[in-house]
Amino acid sequence: MRTLTAAAMGLAMMLGAATHASADCAKSIRLAVSPAGKAIAADGRARVRAQTRAAGFVKQDLVVEMSAAVPNGTTFMVFANAQPVGTITIVFGVGRLVVNNDGANVLPAGANPVCAISSIIVTDGAGNTILSGTF
């Protein structure tokens, strides 16, 4: 009986560790440039990261960075899994979107959980795809 109990406890601990580890991730991609993106010399990257912290809290963040030869103040919409997650405003040719669940921040629907994000699309004001990629 003790052997069976020890084996069951060992299995439970292994499964618990596997579940715990699966909540963590760190992935990054370079975004592909569309013809509309090439016209403005766009380039970009995206990163997702989730780290388990104390008391079971999983810190999550999504970062999308881009550059483009457009006037200061030009905005681009960012979509994760076809859901809007925020905007990037270009200043001196570069812009960055960071969404996370630090403090009182709540992740947008398409970005929660970040490890489940499969696609990122960046569009201009007219809805044209500028950058895109899949994790």
Indicate the number of domains in the chain: 1
**Inter-residue contact 76 to 66 (CB < 8 Å):** yes
For 10, the token pair is 């060992």
**What CATH number should be reported for the domain holding residue 129?**
2.60.40
Q: What is the pLDDT along the chain (135 residues), one digit of tens a residue?
A: 454 444 444 444 443 433 343 479 999 999 999 999 999 999 999 999 999 988 888 999 999 999 999 999 999 999 999 999 999 999 999 999 999 999 889 999 889 999 999 999 999 999 999 999 999
- Domain hosting 78: range is 24-134
Q: Where are the alpha helices (DSSP H) in the chain?
A: 2-22, 35-39
Mean pLDDT of the chain: 87
Domain-embedded: residue 123: yes
5 φ/ψ angles, rounded to the nearest 5 degrees: -65, -45
Distance CA 107, CA 114 (A): 9
% of the chain exceeding 90 in pLDDT: 76
Domain-embedded: residue 128: yes
